[in-house]
Amino acid sequence: MLLEREEVNPDGVDSFHERTPLMWASEAGHVGLVQMLLKREDVNPNKADTFYGQTPLAWADKNGNEGVAKVLLEREDIKPNQASTRGGQTPLLLAAENGHVGIVKMLLKREDVNPNQADTFYGQTPLAWAAKNGREGVAKMLLDRKDVKPDQAATVEGRTRLSLAAENGHVGIVKMLLERKDVNPNKADTFYGRMPLSWAAKNGHEGAAKVLLEREEVKPDHVATIEGQTPLLLAANNGHEGVVTLLLERKDVNPNQADIRHYLIPLLWAAWGGGISG
């Protein structure tokens, strides 16, 4: 009824974040309204809001609205790889981050979608966000692509996908990544100088630590370049008894290796940090 009135602007923006009716309908998953608005020549399907800088497709993908995403992607003039002006997130990255497998599948069928495009804030790709948030279905789909770089480090802090998955205890994704010959299990980040095992140990993720320690080439006594903390020291300091037990079973782990900042051994870190030392 409103769209039938000549004085109604179908592409007008609100006064808060300057979002159009198409953006609101896309975010909420209202397929019928999206179709109605897209029939209008005076509606721009690629118009972004001024706060997040996200297009209608980005809003639909972020919220997992497959029906809306499908309708938008059927438009010849749609830009499926348009990054947001705030953070540089593409529709694929938003869908991957939030685990929307169906939308990721749709986008990966497009030749004009870059599966390795990183955001501008963290420098992380769709695979990195999937690994960080434990989105196994999305991670598998991305890893099945020949053009996806599974060991690409983020531009901020230099974190790899394996590092992010290990830090957050996503065992399934850790296993997936370790099956790849082009993934280095000892690759350290550029900020802390910690490898994936160190991140798993720090946060007490026994499953991830166990999977990593089963690899012959993993260095269980690796010393981080910043502060010189070993995986054992990080686990002891944070009171992760299970990971400490796993590491102490290894002959190639030195229980008396001190860090280079405070010169404290794991036992002293456990006493200081409230961890279990006995």
pLDDT at 16: 85
What tokens were used for 83?
């990054």
pLDDT at 203: 97
Residue that terminates a domain, selected from 70, 90, 110: 70
Question: 162 and 208 in contact (C-beta within 8 Å)?
Answer: no
State yes or no: pLDDT of 79 exceeds 80.
yes
Residue 30 lies in a domain: yes
Range of the domain at 204: 184-278
Total number of domains in the chain: 2
Residue 138 lies in a domain: no
Residue 277 lies in a domain: yes
Render pLDDT for 197-211 as a digit per residue (tens, 0 to 9): 999 999 999 999 999
Render pLDDT for 82-141 as a digit per residue (tens, 0 to 9): 999 999 999 999 999 999 999 999 999 999 999 999 999 999 999 999 999 999 999 999
Render pLDDT for 179-189 as a digit per residue (tens, 0 to 9): 999 999 999 99
Residue 88 lies in a domain: no
Residue 269 lies in a domain: yes
- The whole-number average pLDDT for the span 248-255 is 97
Render pLDDT for 15-43 as a digit per residue (tens, 0 to 9): 988 999 999 999 999 999 999 999 999 99
State yes or no: pLDDT of 57 exceeds 60.
yes
State yes or no: pLDDT of 216 exceeds 60.
yes
CATH number of 41's domain: 1.25.40.20
State yes or no: pLDDT of 167 exceeds 60.
yes
State yes or no: pLDDT of 274 exceeds 70.
no
What tokens were used for 125?
């790709």
State yes or no: pLDDT of 278 exceeds 50.
no
Arithmetic mean of pLDDT over the chain: 95
pLDDT at 244: 98
Residue 173 lies in a domain: no
State yes or no: pLDDT of 277 exceeds 80.
no
Residue 142 lies in a domain: no
Residue 218 lies in a domain: yes
